[in-house]
């Protein structure tokens, strides 16, 4: 593992925070599921860096401290296809866009877990 790679716990958190779905709103593919072996799991998801981990990488930010490069704030969960896509065209897939994707996917996952959007919950005064 490189010094600027994500820790395993960070990768797991990135995946779970978006319900193990690709963060790209045009994709949202499920990234894990059962393997043929009853004990196995297939994973096609990857923890990608929003700003590159190394000099010369897509969206590299030289002002970002090394520890920040490997933090959860600089990570995004994607399927392998979308991870390749964003790194192949860094001008189209900007830091701002990727951070927006991440925020939207996390909000969607939170709403799915809650079962209802917070703004649609009855207020205490409306409750029976």
- Please say if the pLDDT value at position 13 is more than 60: yes
Contact between 92 and 82 (Cβ < 8 Å): no
> 70, 4 in Cβ contact below 8 A?
yes
Asked if pLDDT for residue 97 goes beyond 60, the answer is yes
Locate all alpha helices (DSSP H) within 1-128, ordered by sequence. Answer: 8-17, 66-69, 80-88, 95-114
The mean per-residue pLDDT over the stretch 97-119 comes to 90
Mean pLDDT, range 55-84, rounded to an integer: 92
CB distance 72 to 15 below 8 Å: no
Which residue matches tokens 């996390």? Answer: 106
CA distance 1 to 17: 23
Residue 77: pLDDT band (50, 70, 90) is very high
Query: With 50 as the cut, is the pLDDT of residue 1 above it?
Result: no
Mean pLDDT is lowest, of 13-17, 21-25, 115-119, for 115-119
Backbone phi, psi, residue 88, to 5° = -85, -20
Provide mean pLDDT across the span 105-125: 76
Residue 44: pLDDT band (50, 70, 90) is: very high
């Amino acid at each position: 593992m490189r010094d600027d790679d994500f820790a395993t716990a960070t990768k797991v958190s990135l995946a779970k925070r978006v319900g193990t779905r690709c963060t790209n709103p045009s994709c949202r593919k499920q990234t894990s599921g059962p393997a043929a072996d009853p004990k196995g799991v297939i994973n096609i998801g990857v923890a990608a860096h929003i700003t590159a981990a190394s000099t010369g990488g897509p969206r590299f930010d030289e002002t970002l401290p090394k520890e920040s490069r490997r933090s959860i704030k600089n990570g995004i969960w994607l399927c392998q296809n979308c991870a390749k896509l964003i790194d192949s065209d860094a001008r189209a897939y900007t830091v701002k866009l990727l951070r927006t994707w991440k925020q939207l996917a996390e909000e969607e996952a939170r709403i799915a877990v809650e079962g209802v959007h917070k703004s649609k919950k009855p207020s205490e005064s409306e409750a029976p």
